[in-house]
Amino acid sequence: MFCHLPVDCVLALTYNCNSRCTMCDIWKIKDSPELNPAEFLKLPVSLRDINLSGGEPFLRKDILEIVQNINVAVPKARLVISSNGFATDLILKKMKEILEIMPQIGVAISIDGIGEMHNEIRGIPGGFDRAIATVKGLKEMGMTNLRLAFTVMEKNVNHFSKVYDLSRELGVEFTHSFAQSSEFYFGGKQNIESPRRDYWSLSMNT
């Protein structure tokens, strides 16, 4: 009997969040327990891709220790930290420390539309400008493993190509996912809307 070990995973480091996203209720969860940094030393060595997510992972004061332990446990794994990018000064400070021990690590900053579209979806006034400032600050730090991460919903699908164009303008990668439902993630939020085919086709051709 063969045991198939995982090769990729998403690790929610915390449910604490400084965003108020329309597609996620994680920020409503209070006093949720968090794994001790030592627990990350137990990750299976088979892992090759790890997404450090949340909540907002940079709200973990011990994120540097967590990254150190993951690097010890699975040194061959590719790590990406997914962030909303709102706490610019904190993120730049933490990443300066993290890059010293793991220069190849990546960061994905969520951008779900241009300007007010992003602010409305993320529920934070001025959030778009703060997220872009974080991307630019990380680039100035010398980071090359950077990407904009777009969450597709019917509300913002017509901004898909606009955010893609922004990623080209900034000289970073572009990734996307679809808003979905989960008992364990997104704070249990049930996302039942999905972009209609005609909306999706329109967004790809504009």
Q: Where are the domains of the chain?
A: 8-204
- Residues 169-186 have a mean pLDDT of 79
What are the strands, taking DSSP E only, across the chain? Answer: 8-12, 49-53, 78-83, 106-110, 146-152, 173-178
- Residues 16-41 have a mean pLDDT of 91
| Residue 18 pLDDT class (50, 70, 90 cuts) | very high
Q: How many helices (H) and strands (E) does the chain have?
A: 6, 6
Q: Give φ, ψ of 133 to 5 degrees.
A: -60, -35
Tell me if residue 93 falls in helix, strand or coil.
helix
Given a contact cutoff of 8 angstroms between Cβ atoms, the answer to whether 34 and 138 are in contact is no
The rounded distance, in Å, linking the Cα atoms of 1 and 100 is 42
14 or 190: which leads in pLDDT: 14
pTM confidence score: 0.88
CATH of 8-204, one of 3.40.640.10, 3.40.50.150, 3.20.20.70, 3.40.50.300: 3.20.20.70
pLDDT exceeds 70 at position 24: yes
For the ranges 32-36, 92-96, 119-123, 192-196, the lowest mean pLDDT is seen at 192-196
Choose among 64, 58, 138: nearest CA to 101: 64
- Residues 7-34 have a mean pLDDT of 90
